[in-house]
Structure 1
Amino acid sequence: MNVRRLIPTAALAGAVALGATALTACSGAAAGADGGKDGKVGVTASFYPMAFLAEQIGEDHVKVDSLTRPGVEPHDLEITPKQTGRLGEADVVVYLKGLQPAVDKAVGLSGVKNVVDAATLTELEVHGSAGHDHGAEGHAEGEGHDHDHGEAGRDPHVWLDPTKYAEIAKGVGAALEKADPEHAADYKKNTDELVGKLTALDTEFKDGLQNAASRTFITTHSAFGYLAERYALDQEAISGVDPESEPSPARMKELQGLAKQENVSTVFFETLASDKTARTLAADTGLKTDVLDPLEGITDKSQGADYFEVMRSNLKNLQKALGAK
């Protein structure tokens, strides 16, 4: 099971705001959305998960732009003053405090009135992993970790638990109803439909993982705490919440031993971050590699075209790695 503990952190900023569902919808967007000219509600998103919600709930009534372009690792996003200025043109900004420091700062400077912090729409938790513990050891060795996350180390990766994602969807729907009362009935209907789909996805994960031979999985960075807790799994991360942080040699050695002890068959890597450490660990331990996507963005390398397709690919890959029947 996941171990919860308080993790020392620096002030963590960041955000999740709403952007585009499909890759094409996000591709040209780098800042705010001004929907007034065509009568649509202009929604600005910080990165894909909230972008997907905006498109699903808003449909034809909204114009959605994402601050994070496809293929860009969201943790590393930088925003120019011009983009901050354009952000102020948005009718609605929805963001999750605790993921992207540059977005937090830009939202604070934007002057937008309709701002929704997705972190207030569901409970953020602290998820400890040996990856966190030994990440601290790595820091002492000069291997740096530039991004601490959330107040008291709260994990921002809530969208990987379909039930928490559904809670955020309800809050986003309510925000759009308030910003555009004329189409409130449509937003409510679309929100209800989306929540229903997320509830069904949650059931798929529960049923698909309940008879797994192993409950432990190893992944590149500690993004899957909510998913692991929801489905009674144990996440062991090579790095901490920052996918680019380097693990200490002691951590790598510990993971080698843990892989044997827990009958781990696979080391997971992801699409937007380097797979170097995952492949190194797999080679040293004779394990397989596969993709477990934290869904921080959709690209042509993603195992699916949208949130639901990628999450089902994640489920399939976990079932194979954990020996689930």
Structure 2
Amino acid sequence: MNVRRLIPTTALAGATALGLVSLSACSGASSAGGAQAGGKLDVVASFYPMQYLAEEIGGDHVEVTTLTKPGVEPHDLELKPRQASELRRADYVLYLKGVQPAVDEAIAQSGVEHTVDAATLTGMEDHGTEVGHDHGDEGGGEEHGAGAGADPHVWLDPVKYAEVAEGVGDSLAKADPAHAADYRKNTETLVGKLRALDAKFTDGLRNSTTRTFITTHSAFGYLAERYGLDQHGIAGLGPESEPSPARIKELQSVAKQEKVSTVFFETLASDRTAKTLAKDTGLRTDVLDPLEGITDRSKGDDYLSVMESNLAALQKALGAK
């Protein structure tokens, strides 16, 4: 991850006196000229799934800053004044509306010309604590953009994430036409990797003892629908939501009826409820990572490796053969 250093006010004043136009110490690009001015395109990403796309597709032509640092729970992010300032000076902003309300508001006020909401690049659906292949389009079907209640976790479905990648590649090409061919080539490479990942999930989860899994954070609705699974979330779409006693009782019944072996928790949120439920029902616990950030505790160092770890965890929990 690249970290951009901001020039102190005194140094900026000196630079102005010398007639310099750069506002970014790392990128050497003005907000108007971007990479076309001779430097790298100054890209701000809202959190890790957007950062990964920007870095993979942008390659050597972009300098990427993420608003959500490693280990920070993205849903709870509050922007500092320095981050808001970084945002306003960006050449290109990539975010996913509905994940981080504070970021959504700051971006709306930023005035950045090239601002891309990943939620507009693929179909969005409404998901809750229970979703899967038997539930169909309970939320009213698929539509572009994140409406009220829409599940934003599209990056956990490799097919939808590939659709977003294609849209990001097109938008970067428009923002920086001088390097459009490279952006399109990088997009094609990334989409190929995501299609291969999709094939691994399809093959790896085809035959299993059960199709049902329980997780603390209901982030895996798109993944469940893609691969014919049933997700039962302890909490809702927000990872810190507290389940009711009735919900816990319901999950205990689901675990028994559907031969569930494992309760999944994640790295960036509390595992207390998952471990309590597992203890009460005699189940194992394991990590299913919603990939909202990469930390030292992540089972992999990038999107693809963590998703492959998620696949291995699901195969074990579901008794895949």
User: TM-score if structure 1 supplies the norm length?
Assistant: 0.84
State the AA in 1 paired with 2:177: P
The 5 Å alignment of 1:54-73 reads 54-73=54-73
Report the equivalent of 1:318. Answer: 314
Deviation at 1:129, TM superposition (A): 3.0
Aligned to 2:101: 101
Q: Deviations over 1:244-284 (max 9, x none)?
A: 11100111111111100000000000000000000000000
Q: Does 1:84 align with 2:76?
A: no
Deviation at 1:175, TM superposition (A): 1.2
What does residue 178 of structure 1 align with?
174
Alignment of 1:225-244 (within 5 A): 225-244=221-240
Offset of 1:218 from its aligned partner? 0.1
Q: Which position in structure 2 is the counterpart of 1:305?
A: 301
Letter in 2 for 1:304: G
Label 1:30 to 1:235 Cα distance change in 2 as closer, same or farther (>3 A): farther
Specify every segment of 5 or more residues in structure 1 that has no aligned partner in the other structure, as ranges.
1-24, 132-148
Q: Which residues of structure 2 form unaligned runs of 5+?
A: 7-22, 30-37, 132-144
Residue pairs, 1:220-299, within 5 angstroms: 220-299=216-295
Selected match of 1:196 from 181, 192, 198 = 192
CA positional deviation for 1:81? 3.2
| Superposition RMSD in Å | 1.7
* 1:111 matched to 2:107: no
For 1:153 and 1:46, locate their aligned partners in 2 and report how far apart those are by CA, in whole Å.
Answer: 20
What residue number does 2:28 align with? 36
Q: Quick one: which amino acid aligns to residue 210 of structure 1?
A: R
2: distance between equivalents of 1:152 and 1:46? Answer: 20
Conserved in 1, the CA contact under 8 Å of 2:129 and 2:234?
no
Shift, 1:127, TM fit: 1.7
Does the 8 Å contact 2:128/2:236 carry over to 1? no
| Greater shift in the superposed pair: 36-45 or 269-278 | 36-45
Residue 150 of structure 1 and its aligned partner are, at CA, apart by 4.4
Q: Separation in 2 of the partners of 1:52 and 1:29? A: 17
2:46 corresponds in structure 1 to 46
Native 8 Å contact 1:228 1:234 kept in 2: yes
Q: Indicate if the aligned counterparts of 2:129 and 2:235 stay in contact, CA closer than 8 A.
A: no
Deviations 1:32-67 (A, max 9, x none): x94334700000000000100111011111000000
Answer yes or no: is the 8 Å Cα contact 2:264–2:285 preserved in 1.
yes
Could you say which structure has the larger radius of gyration? 2
Measured in 2, the distance between the counterparts of 1:278 and 1:265 equals 13
Q: Identify which of structures 1 and 2 has the higher relative contact order when contacts are C-alpha pairs closer than 8 Å and 6+ apart.
A: 1
* Percent of aligned pairs sharing the same letter: 68
**Which AA in structure 2 matches 1:253?**
K
TM-score, structure 2 as length reference:
0.85
Q: Contact 1:221–1:239 (CA<8 Å) still a contact in 2?
A: yes
Give the match's secondary structure for 1:36.
Answer: coil
Whichever residue aligns with residue 162 of structure 1, its letter is P
Q: Tell me, in whole angstroms, the C-alpha distance in 2 between the residues paired with 1:256 and 1:309.
A: 32
1:127-138 mapped onto 2 (5 Å cutoff) = 127-130=127-130
Q: Deviations over 1:128-148 (max 9, x none)?
A: 3349xxxxxxxxxxxxxxxxx
Give, in angstroms, the shift of residue 120 of structure 1: 0.6
Q: Residue in 1 aligned with 2:120?
A: 120
